[in-house]
Amino acid sequence: MNTLKNKVQLIGNLGNNPEVITLEDGKKLVKFSIATNEVYKNAKGEKVTDTQWHNIVAWNKTAEIIEKYLIKGSEVMIEGKLTSRSYETKEGEKRFVTEVVCNELLMLGSK
């Protein structure tokens, strides 16, 4: 392993319909979230499901495919890189966001 890379792979279901944004230059941006589940047994032997939500962002051709084919509940495999950014709210509070920028998408499940 000569170089370390920022690479994320997730398999999950869309928690909402993708939000499509068309920028002034015509480029498309799509935002959505997916849920991943991990199932394990706790100390009492009870089955526990841990659901994690991940914010996903996609651009250009990938965004167009997502806009056309994916809806809430769709099962997908996402590959991309982890990014973090911050912004300020109208009230002046600083907020931090972690997102996966999707560069590969595989649609899973049935139609």
Place of tokens 């928690």: 15
93: Cα within 13 Å, side-chain hemisphere: 4
Q: How far apart are CA 22 and CA 29, in angstroms?
A: 6
Q: What is the pLDDT of residues 73-110, one digit of tens each?
A: 999 999 999 999 999 999 999 999 999 999 999 999 76
Q: Does the pLDDT at position 27 exceed 60? A: yes
Tell me the domains of the chain and their CATH numbers: 8-108 (2.40.50.140)
| Mean pLDDT, the chain, whole residue set | 93
pTM beyond 0.75: the answer is yes
